[in-house]
Structure 1
C-alpha cells in the first residue's frame, strides 16, 4: 500500500483558514456593516458587503432558540470527522485530487467553527438574548455576487413571500462549496477503478463466503475426460500394460551348415 503523508494537505487547510480569518477580521475592523460600507470590486455584481450571519452557510438560519448551539456542536463534530477521514484517505493512498478537495472542506468547516465558538466572546457579536456568548458567535460574511434580487413567490416553502437577494458568503463557505463540487465532478476518478499505479490497492481480496457452488451436472460436463488429458504419464496402469501372446511368438533355430 502506498501511504501518503497528510501533512501537506493539512498545511493547505491551515493556509486557507488563516486567509479566511484574516479577511474576516479585516472586514470587521475596517468596514462598516451594510450598504454604508459596501465596496465594489468588479462592476455592480461583485462587491464586499459586511453582514453578520447568525446561522448556517450562505445566510441561512435555524429559527429556534438553541438552533445556533446545535449548529455549533454539529460543526465541531463535523470538523473532527473530516480531519479523521482525511488522514484515513491519505494512509489508503487516495488520489491527490480527492485529498486536496477534502482539505478545502476541512478548512471551511474549521473557519466557520472559529467564528461560532469565539466571535461571540472576543468580537462581542453574539445575537441579543443569547444564553451564552460561547458557541453563539455570528459568522462574518462579505463576498456579495449581486446577480439577482426580488420577492420570492408565496408558494415557495420557508422563504416564500420574502425579499431575497443572492447569498453573501465568505472564504470558508467558498472552500466547502468548491471542495464538494470537485468531489461530485470527479467522483469516478476519485472512487472508481483505481490500480496500483493510481496509488490505491484493492480494499480486500475475494471473500470465501461469496463462493458459488456449481450443480453436479455442470461439474460433469465441464470435467475433462481422462483419455483426452494432455498431461504426461510417468507410469502405465495395470490395465494398460502390453500383453504378449505365447502362441504368436515365433522362434527360429539357427540353421546347421552341412
Structure 2
C-alpha cells in the first residue's frame, strides 16, 4: 500500500469520526440515549481520560495525557512512513498502523479543540463555535456514543466474587476512533505473522 492510500484511509476515518462526534454533540444532551435495537444504543457520554474512562489525577493530568497523545501520534506517524517508504512492509501492518494513527488522532482532536469550540452539553444541546466554551486548549472531553449492551442481568450466585451481582455485557461506550484503534491492534495480534512479513 502506498503512503497516499494510507493517508486517504486515515483522512476518511477522521472525517467519519469527527462528523459523528459533532452530530452527537450538537443534537444530544449529555446522557441522552436512543435505542436502535435492544442490544445497540446511541448513548452520549464524554470521556475525560484514557481508555475505559481512566483519568490521570491532578491539575495537569489532562494536559499531560493530551501532550503524551501528541508525542505518541508523532511516533506512530513515523512508524507508518518508515514501514512504507523504507521497509516495504505488508499491507496488514500498514492498514493496522493507519487505523491506530487515525483513531489516536481522532481522539486528540477532541482533547485539543473541543474545550474551546463547544459549550457545555449538560441540560442542553451544545453549540459549535460557542461564545462561552466549556474548557480551554488541551482540556477538551472525548465524545463517545456507541453502546452494545448485549446482555444485562444478575450473575448466578455460585460464581466467585461477582456471583449474584448485576452485570452488563458489553458495557463499554466508544466512538469511531476507538473502533479504529481496537481494529488496528486486533490486526497486529491476530495477523501477527502476516503483518510483520516484508513484501
Going from structure 1 to structure 2, the CA distance change for 1:25 and 1:164 (only over 3 Å counts) comes to: farther
Match of 1:171 in 2: 176
Q: SS in structure 2 opposite 1:76?
A: helix
Whole-angstrom distance in 1 between the partners of 2:17 and 2:7: 15
TM-score w.r.t. length of structure 2: 0.80
Going from structure 1 to structure 2, the CA distance change for 1:173 and 1:125 (only over 3 Å counts) comes to: farther
Moved beyond 6 Å, runs of 4+: none
Deviation at 1:22, TM superposition (A): 0.2
Picking from 24, 27, 34, the partner of 2:24 is: 27
Match of 1:17 in 2: 14
Query: Which protein has the bigger helix share?
Result: 2
Q: Which has the higher contact order (CA 8 A, sep 6+)?
A: 2
Q: Does 1:181 align with 2:186?
A: yes
Whole-angstrom distance in 1 between the partners of 2:44 and 2:110: 15
Match of 1:97 in 2: 92
TM-score w.r.t. length of structure 1: 0.62
Instruction: Kindly indicate whether the alpha-carbon contact (under 8 Å) linking 1:57 and 1:169 is maintained by their aligned counterparts in 2.
Output: no
Match of 2:4 in 1: 7
Match of 1:147 in 2: 150
Going from structure 1 to structure 2, the CA distance change for 1:45 and 1:190 (only over 3 Å counts) comes to: same
RMSD: 2.6
Residues 87-166 of structure 1 correspond to what in structure 2 (within 5 A)?
87-91=81-85, 92-125=87-120, 133-147=136-150, 166=171
Whole-angstrom distance in 2 between the partners of 1:148 and 1:81: 39
Does 18-27 or 182-191 show the bigger shift? 182-191
Q: SS in structure 2 opposite 1:47?
A: strand
Query: Which protein has the bigger strand share?
Result: 2
Count of aligned pairs: 177
* Higher Rg: 1
Instruction: Kindly indicate whether the alpha-carbon contact (under 8 Å) linking 2:47 and 2:143 is maintained by their aligned counterparts in 1.
Output: yes
Consecutive unaligned residues in structure 1, runs of 5 or more: 127-131, 157-162, 200-258
Deviation at 1:150, TM superposition (A): 8.0
Consecutive unaligned residues in structure 2, runs of 5 or more: 122-134, 155-160
